[in-house]
Amino acid sequence: MKLMVVLMCMTAIPVNSLQNIGWIWHVTDFHYDFSYWSDQFSCNNEVTSPGIYGDYWCDSPWLLIKDSIESMKEIRPDVDFLIWTGDNIGHIHDEHLSIDQNMDTFRNITNELKRQFPNIPTYATLGNHDYYPSDQFSPNTSEIYQRIGEMWKDWINDTEQVEQFKNGGFYSVKTKYGLRILGLNTNLYYTSNKVTTNLTDPAGQFAWLDQQLTTAKTNNEKVIITAHIPPGIHTPSNVLWFRSNFNERFLNIIKSHVNDDTIKVAYYGHNHADGFKIVYKTDGTPAFPVFNGPSVTPWRYKIPVATGPPHNPGIRLISYDRTTGQPINILTYYINLPESNANNKTDWKLEYNFTHAYGIDDVTAPSIHKLTERMVKDRSLVDMYYKYKDVSVTNSPACDDNCRNSILCGFSKSKMDEFNSCKDSYTGSANTVLKPAPVIITTSMCLMYFMHMK
């Protein structure tokens, strides 16, 4: 009977479609603290007995970074490529850093990835902490772009695109199965970047992105977008990381190509939280999903008005269609940090299987859109999303109504005015239009300040 079921299943799945399914690792926000065992520059509280794999108040010791990369190899070595979305430098003041110091960290992590995944390309992008001075990404070529371009040139594997990277920190490559990867430098649009404040198109990346999407459409290529800082609103803290004019411009470029069915998915980091969004076509139907990977660093922020939630280190494995770039499912792995420290060893476990946990067939935009509709009616699904956001920390505080409404609106509303109107529609209060609760403004402003200022 068992054999019959297996045979029936095998004949039900066309061989071609099995061959077309590949795997991708997405890893982000390592945030190495070289001073973890001495000055603890990144730690937001005094940590008297630091664990060997890290502490919720601090950035990653080297052992955690090395262990996470080794575990990726152990869980699945035969991926088609890796996506690495930046922030490798700790939340450490510039006075303790230098270009050379940052480049050492880059070299060490790059070498570790190359050692564990030989001959497999990593499509890497820069995070706001990776620059020196922190966040101040240049709209022109710079020593940092040049030096990192050299480290990553065999991954980019295209002389012209290596030069492109050296000129602005972004590039375009084609996978061996013909997918177009656009690795963007969205740090140019970050509110904390003072260098680009008065520019309309820093490093010419907007014009370049528009052109890349037009060319991809002409050549019938499918596109995967990857970058560190995501556009839109991070919830439930309700932060827009991009300057609003840059956010608008970015969304408009995406919108002008969204009906083409060219962009299949976008992968981002920076939030230190697991999450997703959906981008819609102009007729309102779902176009493509956006996934935010959880960070490796367990570091939690602490500011006068708020303290960030603790979260466990996470990494994620994505199955996808090699021809269309369409993601099929996402498996997120994690360690329980205190448990790993107590045991003196890590046990990277499956935190959740996306389609099983949420009861959907795949992670296409239409499936996730339907899920968000269910989430409006079913509070337990929002609670599940909230739990995974912080990578299954057991004592995470509950998500209240305000938090729930933010999460629901953040799935589809990426401009602050639309987002606020959406939240008002949930609270049902016409009088509060344009007036989010004052505490939210304070918290999100401070969070924005703190995420880049340490």
Residues of this chain that bind Zn ion (CB under 5 A): 29, 87, 127-128, 270
Find the shortest distance in angstroms from Cβ 312 to Zn ion.
Answer: 15
- C-alpha distances (whole Å) from 76 to each of 28, 80, 118, 296, 343 are 17, 10, 13, 17, 24
Least Cβ distance, residue 280 to Zn ion (angstroms): 26
Nearer to Zn ion, 29 or 321 (CB): 29
Q: Which is nearer to Zn ion, 299 or 320 (CB)?
A: 299
Nearer to Zn ion, 257 or 270 (CB): 270
Which pair of tokens denotes residue 370?
């339907």
| Closer residue to Zn ion, CB minimum distance, 180 or 270 | 270
Pairing of strands 263-268, 223-226: parallel
Selection from 29, 433, 444 nearest residue 241 by Cα: 444
List all residues 6 or more positions away from 96 whose beta carbon is below 8 Å from its beta carbon: 35, 39, 41
Closest CB 234 distance from Zn ion, rounded Å: 11
Q: Which sign does the torsion angle of CA 120, 123, 125, 131 carry? A: positive
Nearer to Zn ion, 22 or 127 (CB): 127
CB of 405 to Zn ion, least distance (A): 25
Please, which residue, 269 or 436, has the CB nearer to Zn ion? 269
Segments in 117-158 forming alpha helices (H): 143-151, 153-156
Q: Indicate the residue among 175 and 237 with the shorter CB distance to Zn ion.
A: 237
CB of 371 to Zn ion, least distance (A): 27
Measured from each CB, the residue nearest to Zn ion is 87
CA distances from 280 to 184, 255, 287, 412 (A): 21, 8, 5, 8
Asked if residues 116 and 72 have their Cβ atoms less than 8 Å apart, the reply is yes
Distance between CA atoms of 272 and 40, rounded to whole angstroms? 20
Output the smallest distance, CB 428 to Zn ion, in A. Answer: 35
**Nearest-approach distance from CB 305 to Zn ion, in angstroms:** 20
| Helix (H), strand (E) at residue 356 | helix 354-358
Q: Do the Cβ atoms of 445 and 436 come closer than 8 Å?
A: no
CB of 272 to Zn ion, least distance (A): 6
Residue 22 pairs in a beta bridge with 320
SS3 351: strand
- Residue placing its CB nearer to Zn ion in the complex, 228 or 404: 228
